[in-house]
Homo-oligomer: A and B are copies of this chain.
Amino acid sequence: METIGFIGTGHLGYPIAENLVRAGYKVKIYNRTREKALPLEQLGAVLVDTAAAAAEKGGVVLSLVADDAALEAISTDALLEVLGPGGIHVSMSTVSPDTSTALSLRHQAQGVQFVTAPVFARPDAAAAKLGNAVISGPAAAKERIKPLLLAGFAKNIFDLGEDAGSANVLKLIGNFMIAASIELMAEAFALAEKNKVDPKVAYEMLTTTLFAGPVFRNYGAMVIDRKFTGSPSFGAALGLKDMDLVLQTARRSYTPMPMAQLVQSRLTTILAKDVHDADWTSLAMGALDDAGLTY
């Protein structure tokens, strides 16, 4: 089976890399903190010490790192040189569309194709291959890497066309909608609680009818159960980074988004108060705290 490279085995990258190893791919893994990838070596992966060392001439490298700077840092000239013509870099990180556009041009200059494929899935959903992929980039490259996305985390793949940044735009829109839904439920359930309506009953009624669907159902349960901290699978700092990207994209395209500003502000408060081990669901603490409720 094909040898592929995988860069970034964080909370989300790890289960995806593991799925690929278990699917039978020969996976060369680079992670900044080598220790975190060690268990994957036991499963048969090969750990390497640089991004470039994860690549093969004309091969595929998938990367999933924390932010724009990290993506730029691993997209070295050495990596592009090894991949070379026919090689593909699949960028799964949630970054700015502008970063993807710029990186796509740099890759093209070396004959490497750049596919943007951000991940809609929390780590457990990725592990179960129940995630959703949105992809954009050159058509032939997308076709070649689709099996990797399906083997790695995706139940569904949505094609956004050729433009490198398009998949990032949709990923940012999705994350904005999730964050705004968390705030919306926090306000709604606070109103219930302050008016002697059991928020659990409100949650059950609303998320089995009008608001059926995974985001309201799953994040709603976290809001109801006050599951804001502990072992974050998507931390508040990452959530804030994403809302920064949403507002940066909105600012550049002249799109006022007052709800995005509100959730950015909520997440900023979580960072300001240095809430320990905060999941991004902790943004719900703002509305609860404002209403004098404990959590």
List the interface of chain A (C-beta within 8 A of B). 97, 120, 132, 134, 156, 158, 160, 163, 165-166, 169-170, 172-174, 176-178, 180-181, 183-185, 187-188, 190-192, 194-197, 201-202, 204-206, 208-216, 246, 249-250, 253-260, 262, 287, 290-292
Contacts and interface: CB of A to CB of B under 8 A. Distances in A.
A206 B177 CA distance: 9
Contact of A256 (B195, B255, B291): B291
A263 B187 CA distance: 13
B169 A195 contact: yes
Contacts of A215: 210-211
Nearest to A178: B210
Please give me the 8 A-B residue pairs with the lowest Cβ-Cβ distance, nearest first. Answer: A213-B213, A194-B253, A212-B213, A256-B290, A158-B205, A187-B257, A255-B291, A169-B195
B210 A292 contact: no
A189 to B, nearest CB: 8
A178 B256 CA distance: 21
Nearest to A290: B256
A173 B197 CA distance: 10
Contact of A201 (B158, B165, B172, B201): B158
A104 to B, nearest CB: 14
- The copy count of this chain in the complex is 2
Contacts of A166: 195-197
B183 A259 contact: yes
A169 B209 CA distance: 17
A180 B184 contact: yes
Contacts of A212: 212-214
A204 B160 CA distance: 12
Contacts of A213: 210-213, 216
19 contacts: A169-B191, A169-B192, A169-B195, A169-B197, A170-B197, A170-B201, A173-B191, A173-B197, A174-B205, A174-B206, A177-B206, A177-B211, A195-B253, A209-B214, A212-B212, A254-B291, A256-B290, A257-B287, A259-B259
Contacts of A190: 255, 257
A67 to B, nearest CB: 19
Given A163-B196, A290-B256, A132 B209 contact: yes
A209 B194 CA distance: 32
A188 B249 CA distance: 12
